[in-house]
Amino acid sequence: MQNKFFKSIVFAGMISMVGMISCKKKIDDAYLNPNAATIEPIESILSGVIGSFTAFFSSAGTGYGVQADGILLGRYIQFWGSQTNGENYGQMGGATPASDNTGGLWAAVYYGQGQNLNKIVQWGNEQQKWDYVGVAWAIRAWGWLELTNIYSDAILREAFNTNLSQFHYNPQPEFYDSCRAICFRALNYLSRTDGNVSATNLAIGDAYFYNGDVNKWKKFVYGILARSYIDISNKAIFAANNYAYADSAIKYASLAMTSNADNATVKVKGGLTSAVNNYFGPFRGNIGTIRQASFPADLMSGNNPSAFVGVSDPRRWYMLRENLNGTFKGFTVWLGSTGLSTNDYPFNYWGPVIPATGPIVPSSTGAPTIDTSRYLYQNTSPWPMMTASEMQFIVAEAAFRKGDKQTALAAYTNAISLNFDMLTTTYPQHIPAANAITPAVKAAFLSNPAVVPTTPAGLTMTHIMLQKYIALYAWGVQETWTDMRRFHYTDPDPATGNQVYAGFVPPSGVNLFPNNGGKLVYRCRPRYNSEYLYDIPELTRIGALNPDYHTYECWFSLP
């Protein structure tokens, strides 16, 4: 009797415990502990990271990516200028105090990608999703190279250490070494087919870049490696051991994108909110005040005094904007609209606003009622991050530096051809029928000896770099700025005695930003809202508190 009573008590207690456990589980499910570790689907994390390549905004309103920076940095290389006379960036000035201008890439790498990539690597390893891990490492490698080429010294070894509030900076060579090591790590993971590797599953997080194609991600990684070698063309090591580094640039560029189907582009779907539209499109209205500079307008209209003289480039109808005369003129970036007549004033990149009554006002900053935007300036334009054309220009330059002009000429010609094809297949929208590029138009351009020399001996570095400048117009701001700094903006071409960037005239005298001390700009300051509020000891050590810090030349462009 006593034993039965004891057993009944135990049984009742067990029922009670089961009830309490069940109740506790329901409470835990309904009210999650905010301090408990949470594993998020890495598929949803990756999509946001890819968005941070271009223009991404967090819930707190923080923006980052290459596009906002590009609007400002594009003035250093004279892609475009604002309508304001004496504007800071047109005068090659740096960020003003308490400004996050030109800090978008810094925020993208450390904030937008930072711990998100770390979590993809951690959880991807735990879940054996090696393809996601490889993609994460690929993006990290891209970030280190782009970051150091823009800012020079930055945080590497202590990056993402959550126990620190101040960080030590590391020099550029360490970033280059780390970038290459991570590239090979990425390739190793992207080559794995075991575990839970799945192209279908990768496409969930990768819907707006390569749609789950790991072979294209490998090409992207090879492209990063190619950039990392050509970007140090000024260093003695580039030509050492019979141009071993030039050979590396050629090797990896040849393993990267070879057709426009391989191009690395960030896609947007378009819609009724800013987040789903291209940052340069009319819906978001970010570039209404800028106009093409005179340098690319003259270069593509045959008006450059020393290069492609008299050649009208058919791509100008895709990349630039005409004026009331139907010609292509541009701003002197530090003078804004000063000196341009009404008829020569270029329309904004979305096209002219046609009023109900009265004449067209070319200085209008708005978009037309009927969408006439072209190229990268449409709401749904895919934004290139790396292209097959760029890779061929890298082959051309590296081979040229080696003295292999035959290979250089073949790659140079192919690079231009690929750029034509990208425009006609990806960006044919709203081109006037009379100005559309046809196979005959393309063939005529490539057969013009002023553009493509008839023999390898006629090819110059000026040919290569100016045509690369055109092919990267608008989207390749950061890489083109790296190129121009390698040539110190105005370095001469030994073959001609003229500048490599023929006709490029940087501001000087009173037109140069006063803090520059007569020097041109070579780097951006670290992002204000992290570094200049918390990392003052390191900024002091590297000289980033000095008013001319933005003129300090980077390691990659030094001999």
pLDDT digits (tens, 9 = 90+) for 178-188: 999 999 999 99
For residue 56, the model assigns a pLDDT of 79
Residue with token string 């092919």 = 471
- Whether the per-residue pLDDT at 394 is higher than 90: the answer is yes
- Whether the per-residue pLDDT at 17 is higher than 60: the answer is no
Assign 3-state DSSP to the chain and report helix, strand, coil percentages, each to 5: 50, 5, 45
Please give the single-letter amino acid code of residue 131. Answer: D
For residue 72, the model assigns a pLDDT of 97
| End-to-end CA separation in angstroms for the chain | 97
Pair 208, 268: CB distance under 8 Å = yes
How far, in Å, CA of 206 to CA of 209, rounded? 6
Bridge partners (DSSP) of residue 63 are 57
For residue 134, the model assigns a pLDDT of 98
pLDDT digits (tens, 9 = 90+) for 457-496: 999 999 999 999 999 999 999 999 999 999 999 999 999 9
- Whether the per-residue pLDDT at 1 is higher than 60: the answer is no
pLDDT digits (tens, 9 = 90+) for 485-541: 999 999 999 999 999 999 999 999 999 999 999 999 999 999 999 899 999 999 999
Mean pLDDT, range 420-432, rounded to an integer: 98
For residue 59, the model assigns a pLDDT of 54
Kindly state the greatest CA–CA separation across the chain: 113
Task: Name which of 383, 388, 449 is nearest 417 in CA terms.
Answer: 388
For residue 275, the model assigns a pLDDT of 86
Mean pLDDT, range 246-273, rounded to an integer: 97
Q: Mean pLDDT check: name the lowest of 56-70, 298-312, 434-448, 545-559.
A: 56-70
For residue 174, the model assigns a pLDDT of 98
Q: Which pair of tokens denotes residue 11?
A: 């049984």
Element (H, E) at 320: none
Task: Name which of 504, 425, 510, 432 is nearest 470 in CA terms.
Answer: 504
Q: Whole-number mean pLDDT of the chain? A: 93
Task: Name which of 451, 432, 455, 434 is nearest 443 in CA terms.
Answer: 451
Element (H, E) at 292: strand 290-292
Q: 10: pLDDT confidence band, cut at 50, 70 and 90? A: very low
Phi-psi domain of 419 (left: phi exceeds 0; alpha: psi -120 through 50; beta: other): alpha
Mean pLDDT, range 117-136, rounded to an integer: 98
Compute the Cα dihedral for 527, 528, 534, 538 and give only its sign.
Answer: positive
- Whether the per-residue pLDDT at 27 is higher than 60: the answer is no
pLDDT digits (tens, 9 = 90+) for 222-231: 999 999 999 9
Task: Name which of 415, 304, 426 is nearest 374 in CA terms.
Answer: 426
Pair 315, 469: CB distance under 8 Å = no
- Whether the per-residue pLDDT at 5 is higher than 90: the answer is no
For residue 398, the model assigns a pLDDT of 98
Q: 24: pLDDT confidence band, cut at 50, 70 and 90? A: low
For residue 366, the model assigns a pLDDT of 95
User: Within 276-322, where are the H helices?
Assistant: 294-299, 316-319
Bridge partners (DSSP) of residue 331 are 293
Residue with token string 């100008």 = 316
- CA torsion angle for 445, 327, 77, 143 (degrees, to 10)? -70
pLDDT digits (tens, 9 = 90+) for 345-374: 999 999 999 999 999 999 999 999 999 999
Please give the single-letter amino acid code of residue 45. Answer: I
How far, in Å, CA of 261 to CA of 216, rounded? 9
| 182/7: higher pLDDT | 182
How far, in Å, CA of 150 to CA of 289, rounded? 24
- CA torsion angle for 426, 429, 433, 439 (degrees, to 10)? 0
Task: Name which of 228, 229, 195, 197 is nearest 213 in CA terms.
Answer: 197
Mean pLDDT, range 368-386, rounded to an integer: 97
pLDDT digits (tens, 9 = 90+) for 170-179: 999 999 999 9
Q: 402: pLDDT confidence band, cut at 50, 70 and 90? A: very high
Pair 106, 530: CB distance under 8 Å = yes
Q: What is the DSSP string of 435-497?
A: G---HHHHHHHHT-TTTS-SSGGG--HHHHHHHHHHHTTTT-HHHHHHHHHHTTTTPBPTTTS
Q: Is the pTM of this model over 0.95?
A: no
Q: 7: pLDDT confidence band, cut at 50, 70 and 90? A: very low
How far, in Å, CA of 104 to CA of 147, rounded? 10
